[in-house]
Structure formats: structure tokens, C-alpha cells
């Protein structure tokens, strides 16, 4: 019998022995233990050393080994950490945004940013994942930039819409989801203390990612056609911002799509100010009755636009995979930040994502998803309009997963959301979507995360809360 | 036919038309297109707008629509980025460490830090992943702290070894792998500009993670029993370091395990200096003929030790999942940093990891892995001893995946590695493992990533290179 398994055997034996004795009891001597277990004293000593390290035995030299005295479970004293840690990093709340919060099953989940299971590409993804798990490539670490088939598909998606585009698979970096891509972009393109210009309101995840990267956010108001280019230019110039973050198509939460004029103007601004635009194309697969004007990166050849395309919301929450597209030294910086943050993304997830994107069933799924989302959007609009008329819908969203509602002046969105939750309806209070001060009380209501037959009840609850606010 | 699909149809039609015409040609008028496609002029205009956005059509107001003039494929001009980006963040190399590099298939891969497929828990993991993909929990975003079953198993692993330990599942955070846990720990515990004390040499991934978190590394020499406690204390005190990073058991790359005296001394030091110890238990499942002295966190009740336990190396490269254990306000900081960096880890990977850890086959896999690794370690030691005697092995590793060899004084490790690679043998030059200057030329040779029948040839190549160096 090997020495190693003898030690293990004796360790288990002595541990059991110690458990059976009262605290403070003396254990049999080393010689005695050696004799009864049929091993040498060195083996016994190795076992004892392990149990000392575990805190079960105390050795009193010259006397013997004793079962550790029982102690009252010692209260943790972590108070020293307060002074040691110092001030927290500003700007990142302790909890993720409400879109990600789990709630009791009987809550109507209008807060969630993720589609219901029946709207997901569940079977397609499950098959792809199962196949990927048996692929030989799943047995090797993936390249830190991502696996070639997936990078190629992401580049092809972009290039297919614009032949002038010169996006190749080398311009694509795979990350473990959109949030990771945001942080990689901010950390690669800017330094802590730098400024990033964002629309207000905007995606709370982007706000947190910027804070995590140590950036200061300068907000520019979001208007129905996009930001006012003059305001945006001023913000970039005054604060010497190198980075602008935006969702130019069916933005989360407003649903706004930038007009052609705003698109051209913003491209001119970032070009003349030698800045970067981080374009978050989160809703690419989530068109409703709009047609996407196409990503801005297709009109940019000099690497001003960094494009992010996440797969999670149109596939399943398990496919934590996104593509980031960038060119030039900026891409080197972003790649460097990524490998240091995460080495590589699971090959199983990448292989599965590539299979899904290339599957004939994929465009069918997207068409099905669109039809379902349109129906649900309209149902929620009707329910709110009838039962919660005090909540205004400034803009019908032509893509995305939610409605952005304006509440009556004087209402407090956080209070409204709390009262709705008490009555079993979860909504997203608008405040967390603003990098700075809200421009008024709002709610975001998702129409993809709760079954439509709950919309009427939910709207009634919201209506009652608003009436009494 | 819905308006939306009409637009799509006409868009495709006009796109095809434009492709067939010479650049600069005028397209049929809006009225003409409307007539021939059987739609209204508004529909045609929407189609045209899309093609303008794609850059295929230019509109000259009052004249008509024209196919965009052909342009020579415009060369990217990313030169503006150099000034815009400014200085790079110091300390993170552009490429990940050599352990992760992919190389041609006929290269003998002694550089890699990941075990061969036949040493992985391939079938066990594939089954678990396939089952997880169909689990209803895979259709919901996971909590940002991680899924309860996996957190519980990770806590139970730790608590099982030490009944005095008070580690509960609430003390566990799931991350997308060990590297992500390192960055989360560094960013949560310290601020950019702070100092972290590390052994020298140490894991290159930790060096990169610290740099990514903006920390300055102060190295302390690694010795056969661990760092000299007096040296470590001085480093902590002089540089006011709040964080010490270490691998106290079978460290990567040296194989060193801290003696009981060093363990106790370091725990005292971090306690009296109100500092944190980030304990990276990377080799927990990779014991050879040693028995792990047990993790330091089991002896710490006041939250000084932050413990990281990655699953990837003992399962498969696809299971990018790790557990981070911390207590007190420090855990809040780390959790906050994590959700801002990655929202949540794929539920499929978490469910699969939990199933693997709880499977009866798991301990059998670990026993099998240990036997295999011992055989391979000994085979590589023999081959190097015989065919590359100029490479010294100061310490036989009792756990882990590689040998740390000292080269003759005057040898240059990077040059030696490059020459070996030319002859088809990939090794890891020691330099990248030192946070500052190497204390001499070294090589790290993995014995788990290449088949043992290649060891003799590899050792001969290394021997020849050293002879001629």
C-alpha cells in the first residue's frame, strides 16, 4: 500500500477518533496509534500534522496530542476592514440594476430585462451546447481573442449589411457577455479619471461599467431623435472626452433611434474631436416594426467606432457571449485589458454561439421572436393606456423589450415602484437609468418577461398607485 | 402583406438593382420603383433610406438617387488613435503568458498550463453540461453572486476540512474563472495606485490581474519553505500594502508549499498589519504525493484571507468557473466589482460545475488524475535528468502540473525557449513569472500537456540547446 494512501487512512481514523472524544481529551500516543493502524510512526505524525492544521488536535510537546478544547463559535470580527478598505469606488451601486433582480415567483415581472423562456431560442441553444461539450475544441483553452468561427460569423453579420465595410474577423474580440465588453472598451480606450459622455437616460449597466473603469460620466439629454449634436459636441469639447457611449438604435430604456441627421452629425463630431464612439447594438435582433438603420461602425473606416454586439438577449441567458469590434491600436488596448481580466471565454459557449448563429433555425427564431414581441408590446401599451392613463408613453418603441413611461410631475418613481412591488408587480424605477439627476419621474416596463395575461392586472396596480401618489 | 415585409422586399430589390448598375448611375425614380414593385412611394423611400445608410446609394435632392461612386478600398487611417489613446497602462503585456499560447500541432507542448484531454474530466463534464442546458434554471439570468447549489458546494468543500471553520455559502462568490476572481479581489480590496505584495516568482496571470487593477507589485523572494516572514513583513510595512497575494500550496511555478511556521507567521503579519491575503488555491485538486496542509482561510475568522478556488484545471477548459470566498465589507466590495464587470456567470456552466462537484465519479477522477500526474512528473524528471542535466530541479513538486528548472548562470531563458521552439519544443521561459527582475534564468516545463512518450525527445532538445548556450 502506498505511503500516501496510508496517511490518508490514518488521518481519517484519527479524525474519527478525535470526534468521538470530549474536547481536551488526550489521544492515544503516536506509538499506540502506529501499532493499532499497522503503520510507522512517521505516517502517524503526518496524519496528526494534518489534524493540527485543521484545528482538531493540539500538540503539547513532551506530553501528547489532545482533542482541541471546544470553543464557543467565535464571532467574526471584521470591523478592522472598514479602516483598511478606505473609501469605496464611487458610482457603482452594491446591487445590479433592477432588470436583473430575482423576485418571488408570484410577482409580475415587468422589471426584468430578459425575455421569458418561451421567447428564448431554448431548444436550439441546448442542442448546440450539448454538441459543443463533446467537440474536441472544448478540451483546449480558447484563444484569448475568441474562437475563429464565432469571430468570423460576427464579422460577417456586420459586413453583410454594407459592402463598403471592411470588417474582418481579426477585428472581432469575443467576451463573456455585453457587460464584459463594455468594461473592456472603457478600460482599453480611456484611463481612470477620464470622461465618458453618455446619453441620459441610458443603460444602467453602462453606467456601472464606466464607474468600474474609473471614468467620470458626463450626461447629455436623450431626445426623440437622439442627442442634440451641438450639446454632445460641447460636452465632448468642454470635458475633453475621448469616449462617447451610446445605443443609437432602439436604445435601452427609451426606445429612441437616432435620426440619419444625428447619426451623420455624431460621426463628424467624434471624427473631428479624435474621440471614440462605443456603439452598443444591444437590440440588433430585437426589432419590432422598425428596420434597423444599420450600425454606425459600417460607416466608419478609421476606427472611431467600437461596436458591441451581445447575443444573450436573443438566444438564452446561458449564452454569455458577445462580440466587440474595433480597429487599430485601440483594439490592442482592449484585447490586452480583456485577457488580463478573463484569460479566455469558455469554448463550449463560443462553439454553441457559432452554431446558433449559423443555423437555418436562427432567422426563423428571430422572425418568431419579432412577431411575439410586437404583440406583447401592443398588449402592454393597451393595458397601460386603459388602466394607468397617468403614465404617459412619449414614444412607441420600434425595437427592444420595454416601454419607457413618463409619470406625472411630482411623482417619485422609486416610491411608485416600491408600492407596486408591495402589490405584487415589479417595475423598474427610472432613476437608476440616469447617470446624474433624472429629468423627471419615469418607469421602465418590460413586455417580454411576464405573460401578457398578467398585463391588465399589472396596469391596474400601477394605475391605482399613481392615482394615490 | 404587412408594411414591414414590403419594405424588406423592396429594399432587397433596390439593393440588387444598385449592384447591377455601374457606380454613379442613376436609379429609377421613386415613382417608377413604386409602380414596378406594387407598393406606395413611402415604402420605396424607406428602402432607399436603408441603402443610403449602407452607403450603396446617394441621394441628390431634386435630381434623384444614384449608385454610390466606386471608391478604391479606402485604407484605414487609424494613426489618430496614437495621440488619442495616450500612454498604455503599465504592467500588462499585450499577449497572455506562454501557458496559454496555441502552437502548431507538432510542437511538443511543455509550455501549456492546461492538462491533456485524456487527463480531463471530459465525459463527466459533457454530460453535466448537456443536462444543465435543459434545466429550467438555465433559462433565467443567474444571481450575480452565483447560483446557490454551487456556492453551497464550494463552501462545503472548505468547511468539511475544518469544523471550526465558519464558511457558509453566503461567503462564496462565483466568477467566470480564476483570473476574473483575481481581478475582482484586487479591485475590491485596493485602489489604483495601491501596492500588492507578491512572491517572486509567481503566476503571470496574477501579475497581469494586479496591473489591470492598477496596483503596483512589490516582490518578495520565494524560498523553499515559502517567503521569509521578516522580508514579507518589511515589504508590507514599508509600502503600506493592504494586500498580499500568494499560492501557499504547490505554488505555480515553483511547486513550493509554505511550511507550518511560515503559514502561522504570515497569518500573524496580515492580522497585525490589518491587511488582506489573497490565497490562490489553484492546485487544490492537483496533489501528487503531497497532502495539502489545508487552506489558510480555514484558520481565519476575521476576514483577512480571501480564498480563490478555480475549477478549470481539474475539470475541463470549458468550465470557466471559480469560487471566491471572503467575509465582511471586503466581500461587499468584491461583489460590487464583479457584477459591474460581468453581471452574472452562465447558469449552464454553474449548474454543470455543481453537478460535477457532487458526482460520485468526481473523487474517482481526482484519484485517477493524481496517479497519472505522478507518473508523468516522474517521467519528465527522469528525462530531464538524463538528457538535459544542465537544467537543475531545486525542488520536486508535490502538487501541480510542472517542473521549475534552474538554468546555468549566464543562460538567457528567453533565448533558450526560442531555440527550443525552433526545434519543435515549446517551453515557458521563466522571466514572465517574475513581477520584477528574475533571480536567475529558469524554465517551467509542464508534464500534463504533452504525452510522456515525447518527454525524451523534448529533453534532448533542451539539453542540446543548453549545451550550446
Nearest to B218 by CA among B203, B199, B204, B205: B199
Q: For residue A260, give the nearest of B53, B68, B327 by CB distance.
A: B53
Q: Inform me whether the pLDDT recorded for B467 exceeds 80.
A: yes
Count of all residues that appear for chain B in the document: 469
| Nine-digit cell string for B35 | 409602380
Given a contact cutoff of 8 angstroms between Cβ atoms, the answer to whether A283 and A255 are in contact is no
Examine residue A170 and state whether it is found in any structural domain, yes or no: yes
Task: Report which of B386, B105, B42 is spatially closest to residue A136, judged by C-alpha positions.
Answer: B105
* Chain segment B233-249, per-residue pLDDT in tens: 999 999 999 999 999 99
Q: Does B180 touch chain A (CB under 8 A)?
A: yes
Q: What percent of chain B has pLDDT over 70?
A: 97
User: Are B3 and A96 a contacting pair at CB < 8 A?
Assistant: no
- What is the block-wise mean pLDDT of chain A (469 residues), using blocks of 10 residues? 68 81 84 86 82 76 77 74 88 82 85 95 97 96 95 90 74 97 97 96 97 95 96 97 97 96 97 97 93 90 95 96 97 95 97 97 96 98 98 96 97 96 96 94 97 98 94
Has residue B78 been placed in a domain?
no
Cα dihedral B397/B403/B406/B412 (nearest 10): -160
A93/B336 CB distance under 8 A: yes
Q: Are residues B445 and B387 in the same domain?
A: yes
Residues A384, A274 share a domain: no
In a domain, A72, yes or no: no
Same domain, B34 and B128: no
Rounded Cα gap, residues B85 and B8, in angstroms: 40
- How many degrees, rounded to 5, is the angle at CA B40 between CA B34 and CA B46? 85
Interchain contact, B317 vs A142, CB within 8 Å? yes
Decide if B424 contacts B450 (C-beta within 8 A).
no
pLDDT in the model for residue A2? 43
Q: How far is CA B400 from the centre of its chain?
A: 17
Which of B280, B366, B359, B356 is closest to B323 using CA atoms? B280
- Interface residue B70 vs chain A (CB under 8 A): no
pLDDT > 60? residue B427: yes
Range in B6-10, B291-295, B379-383 with the lowest mean pLDDT:
B6-10
- pLDDT score at A1: 40
Q: Is the dihedral of CA B9, B14, B20, B23 positive or negative?
A: negative
Q: What digits encode the pLDDT tens for the residues B320-372?
A: 999 999 999 999 999 999 999 999 999 999 999 999 999 999 999 999 999 99
Residue B41 lies in a domain: yes
Size of interface A-B (CB pairs under 8 A): 320
Which of B217, B218, B219, B214 shows the shortest CA–CA distance to B191? Answer: B214
Residues B394-406 have a mean pLDDT of: 97
Q: Enumerate the H helices of A71-194 as residue ranges.
A: 80-85, 122-133, 148-160, 178-189
Question: Phi and psi dihedrals of B425, rounded to 5?
Answer: -125, 120
Per-residue model confidence (pLDDT) at position B64: 83
Residues of chain B numbered 142-171 and touching chain A (CB < 8 Å)? 142-144, 161-164, 166
Beta strand B276-280 pairing with B305-310? parallel
Does the residue A87 lie in any domain?
no
For residue A462, give the 3-state DSSP assignment: helix
Assess whether pLDDT exceeds 90 at residue B202: yes
Longest dimension (CA), chain B: 90
* Within-domain flag for A249: yes
- Residues A288 and A181 both lie in one domain: yes
Q: Is residue A75 part of a domain?
A: no
Dist CA A176 CA A345 (whole Å): 6
Please indicate, yes or no, whether residues B370 and B323 belong to a single structural domain of this protein. Answer: no
Q: Is B86 a member of any domain?
A: no
**Is cis: bond before B415, omega within 30 of 0?**
no
Question: What per-residue confidence (pLDDT) applies to B73?
Answer: 55
Residue with cell 416610491: A415
Residue-wise pLDDT tens digits, A72-131: 556 788 999 998 998 888 888 888 887 777 787 789 999 999 999 999 999 999 999 999
Chain A positions in Cβ-Cβ contact with residue B330 (cut-off 8 Å):
78, 81, 85
Cβ atoms of A290 and A399 closer than 8 Å: yes
Half-sphere exposure of A467 (CA within 13 A, CB side): 9
Minimum-distance CB partner of A318 among B50, B68, B348? B348
Domain boundary among the residues B326, B359, B392 is at B359
* pLDDT tens for each residue of B444-458: 999 999 999 999 999
Q: Report pLDDT digits (tens) over B151-178.
A: 999 999 988 755 556 889 999 999 999 9
B247 and B319 within one domain: yes
Specify the CATH number for the domain of residue A382.
3.90.1150.10
- 317-336 in A: which are within 8 Å (CB) of B? 317-320, 327-330, 332-333, 335-336
| Cα B207 → chain centroid | 12
| Residue B252 predicted with pLDDT over 80 | yes
Given a contact cutoff of 8 angstroms between Cβ atoms, the answer to whether A178 and A186 are in contact is no
- Looking at the structure, tell me whether residues B127 and B232 fall in a common domain: yes
* Nearest residue to A279 (alpha-carbon basis) of A231, A340, A66, A293: A293
Name the residue of chain B whose CA is nearest to A142's CA: B317
Give the least confident one: B27-41, B62-76, B435-449: B62-76
Q: Does A37 touch chain B (CB under 8 A)?
A: no
In terms of domains, do A279 and A371 share one? no
Question: Last residue of a domain, which of A340, A359, A378?
Answer: A359
A332 and A420 housed in the same domain: no
Q: What is the CATH number of the domain that holds A145?
A: 3.40.640.10
Q: Report the pLDDT value the prediction gives residue B162, as an integer from 0 to 100.
A: 59
List the Cα angle A180/A132/B318 in 5-degree steps: 50
Say yes or no for a CB contact (<8 Å) between B81 and A56: no
Question: Is the same domain home to A352 and A278?
Answer: yes
Q: What is the pTM of this model?
A: 0.85
pLDDT, residue A100, reads 79
Interface of B with A in 89-148 (CB under 8 A): 89, 92-96, 100, 102, 114, 117, 120, 122, 125-126, 129-130, 133-134, 136, 138-144
Q: Could you say which of B331, B359, B387 is where a domain stops?
A: B359
Distance from B409 to chain A by nearest Cα, in Å?
32
Check residue B102 and give its pLDDT.
77
In chain A, what residues touch B73 (CB-CB under 8 Å)? 166
Number of structural domains chain A divides into: 3
Do residues B213 and B337 share a domain? Answer: yes
Please name the member of A94, A162, A192 whose beta carbon is closest to the beta carbon of B54: A162
We report the CATH number of the domain holding residue A39 as 1.10.10.10
Q: Give start and end residues of each alpha helix (H) in A116-259.
A: 122-133, 148-160, 178-189, 204-212, 229-238
Residues B244 and B145 in one domain: yes
CB spacing of A78 vs B126 below 8 angstroms: no
**Domain of residue A399, residue span:** 98-119+364-468
Residue B161: the pLDDT is 57
Amino acid at each position: 500500500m502506498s505511503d500516501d494512501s496510508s496517511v490518508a487512512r490514518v488521518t481519517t481514523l484519527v479524525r474519527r477518533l478525535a470526534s468521538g472524544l470530549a474536547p481536551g481529551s488526550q489521544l492515544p500516543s503516536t506509538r499506540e496509534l502506529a501499532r493499532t493502524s499497522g503503520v510507522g510512526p512517521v505516517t502517524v505524525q503526518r496524519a496528526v500534522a494534518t489534524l493540527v492544521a485543521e484545528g482538531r488536535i493540539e500538540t503539547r510537546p513532551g506530553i501528547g496530542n489532545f482533542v482541541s478544547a471546544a470553543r464557543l463559535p467565535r464571532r467574526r470580527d471584521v470591523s478592522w476592514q472598514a479602516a483598511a478598505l478606505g473609501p469605496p469606488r464611487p458610482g457603482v451601486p452594491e446591487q445590479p440594476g433592477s432588470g436583473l433582480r430575482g423576485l418571488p415567483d408570484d410577482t409580475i415581472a415587468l422589471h426584468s430585462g430578459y425575455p421569458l423562456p418561451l421567447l428564448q431560442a431554448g431548444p436550439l441553444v441546448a442542442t448546440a451546447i450539448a454538441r459543443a461539450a463533446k467537440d474536441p475544441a472544448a478540451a483546449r483553452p480558447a484563444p484569448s481573442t475568441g474562437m475563429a468561427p464565432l469571430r468570423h460569423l460576427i464579422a460577417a453579420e456586420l459586413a453583410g449589411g454594407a459592402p463598403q465595410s471592411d470588417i474582418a474577423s481579426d477585428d472581432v474580440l469575443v467576451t463573456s457577455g455585453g457587460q464584459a465588453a463594455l468594461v473592456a472598451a472603457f478600460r482599453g480606450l480611456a484611463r481612470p479619471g477620464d470622461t465618458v459622455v453618455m446619453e441620459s437616460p441610458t443603460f444602467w449597466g453602462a453606467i456601472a461599467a464606466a464607474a468600474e473603469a474609473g471614468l467620470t460620466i458626463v450626461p447629455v439629454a436623450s431626445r426623440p431623435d437622439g442627442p442634440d449634436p451641438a450639446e454632445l459636441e460641447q460636452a465632448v469639447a468642454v470635458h475633453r472626452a475621448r469616449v462617447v457611449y451610446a445605443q443609437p438604435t432602439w436604445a435601452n430604456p427609451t426606445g429612441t433611434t437616432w435620426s440619419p441627421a444625428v447619426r451623420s452629425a455624431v460621426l463628424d463630431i467624434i471624427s473631428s474631436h479624435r474621440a471614440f464612439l462605443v456603439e452598443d447594438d444591444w437590440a440588433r435582433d430585437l426589432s419590432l416594426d422598425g428596420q434597423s438603420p444599420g450600425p454606425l461602425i459600417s460607416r466608419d473606416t478609421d476606427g472611431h467606432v467600437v461596436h458591441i454586439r451581445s447575443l444573450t438577449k436573443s438566444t438564452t441567458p446561458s449564452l454569455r457571449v458577445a462580440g466587440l469590434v474595433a480597429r487599430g491600436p485601440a483594439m490592442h488596448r482592449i484585447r490586452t485589458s480583456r485577457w488580463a481580466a478573463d484569460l479566455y471565454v469558455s469554448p463550449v459557449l463560443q462553439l454553441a454561439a457559432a452554431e446558433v448563429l449559423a443555423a437555418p433555425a436562427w432567422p426563423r427564431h428571430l422572425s418568431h421572436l419579432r412577431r411575439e414581441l410586437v404583440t406583447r408590446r401592443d398588449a402592454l401599451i393597451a393595458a397601460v393606456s386603459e388602466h394607468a392613463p397617468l403614465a404617459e408613453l412619449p414614444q412607441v418603441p420600434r425595437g427592444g423589450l420595454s416601454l419607457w413611461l413618463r409619470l406625472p410631475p411630482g411623482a417619485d418613481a422609486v416610491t411608485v415602484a416600491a408600492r407596486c412591488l408591495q402589490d405584487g408587480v415589479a417595475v423598474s424605477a427610472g432613476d437608476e437609468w440616469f447617470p446624474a439627476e433624472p429629468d423627471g419621474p419615469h418607469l421602465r416596463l418590460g413586455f417580454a418577461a411576464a405573460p401578457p395575461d398578467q398585463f391588465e392586472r399589472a396596469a391596474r396596480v400601477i394605475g391605482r398607485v399613481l392615482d394615490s401618489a
